[in-house]
């Protein structure tokens, strides 16, 4: 694992592996859709990530998702490709820890 530590709410901790697995699948899906020129599908995936990332404690996924959505809407394949790589790099370098600290 890499050096990006993400604290996840204790109530969501058990859901995170599945969530992250789905984001990794999204990477492959978006690459395939991008290769086909299907910007609408890529835009939809970006929108979905923009809406879900923060709820799981992954602000970076929210940010990247929003940028993917925007780039796909503009049909900017180069930017989409770079953002997919950024997402992949992020997912490869995060370490998820349980945030059980009491406020």
Question: Which pLDDT does position 3 carry in this prediction?
Answer: 81
d(CA 18, CA 14): 8
d(CA 21, CA 30): 14
d(CA 67, CA 98): 28
Q: What are the boundaries of each domain within the chain? A: 4-99
pLDDT tens, position by position, 8-38: 988 889 999 999 999 999 999 999 999 999 9
pLDDT tens, position by position, 36-52: 999 999 999 999 999 99
CATH 1.20.120.160 fits 4-99, yes or no: yes
Query: What pTM was estimated for this model as a whole?
Result: 0.91
| Cβ proximity of 15 and 56 under 8 Å | yes
**Angle value at C-alpha 24, between 21 and 27, nearest 5 degrees:** 155
């Amino acid at each position: 694992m890499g050096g990006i530590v993400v604290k996840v709410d204790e109530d969501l901790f058990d859901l995170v592996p599945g969530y992250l697995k789905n984001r990794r699948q999204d990477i492959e899906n978006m690459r395939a859709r991008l290769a086909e020129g299907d910007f609408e599908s890529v835009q939809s995936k970006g929108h979905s990530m923009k809406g879900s990332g923060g709820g799981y404690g992954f602000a970076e996924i929210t940010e990247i998702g929003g940028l993917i959505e925007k780039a796909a809407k503009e049909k900017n394949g180069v930017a989409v490709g770079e953002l997919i790589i950024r997402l992949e790099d992020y997912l490869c370098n995060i370490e998820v820890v349980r945030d059980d600290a009491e406020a």
